[in-house]
Amino acid sequence: MNVLRCLLQLVLYVPLMALVGTLSSKPAFTHVPPEQALVRLSVVHAAQRKVECRTRTQEELAKLSPNMRAAQDCPRERAPLVVELDIDGSLVYRRIAAPAGITKDGAASVYYRMLVPARAHQVAARLRDGPGEGFNFRKDARIELAPGGSLLIDFNAAQGGFLFRN
């Protein structure tokens, strides 16, 4: 193998390996710009049943076969979840989430992400999980978000509703 051929191989190999080495890390990808912060809203919640349970009458019970005579009639379908998010007084997200499942008796889920400028924000979250109007869970707080910071708005009814985690 002559020197010229070796050099030519080098000329071809070096850019190829440089290509591999470079594209494996460059150019950089900006996921959240440095002057911004990330807000995520994540809710997984089983709403109230759409129709209240009612007590069956004796006549109704008599019509049922003996093994089906449950005193209460509870339709399984749950109400849709209504979630709203305000940032600095503006509604930035609203979603009506249907319950999961064929009979719509599962939990409804909501996930939303957005970028906001890195500074203090007035954040308000509302949720309705039953029939009727109005929201039965609310939380409103002023949150300081640093550059590259993150706010996770979680929901846990047992812990009182919305949890702002940053």
* Binding residues vs other proteins (CB under 8 A): 5, 8-9, 11-13, 16-17, 19-21, 23-34, 37-38, 40, 42, 44, 100, 109-111, 113, 147-150, 152, 154, 165-166
Copy the structure tokens of residue 149. Answer: 């910071």
For other proteins, give the closer residue by CB, 117 or 147. 147
Q: Which is nearer to other proteins, 131 or 149 (CB)?
A: 149
153 Cβ neighbours under 8 A, 6+ residues apart: 39, 40, 41, 42, 43, 85, 123, 125, 162, 163, 164, 165
Nearest distance in Å: CB 48, other proteins: 20
From the CB of 146, what's the least distance to other proteins, in Å? Answer: 9
Minimum CB distance to other proteins, residue 4 (Å): 9
CB contact at 8 A, 130 and 136: yes
CA distance 61 to 72: 10
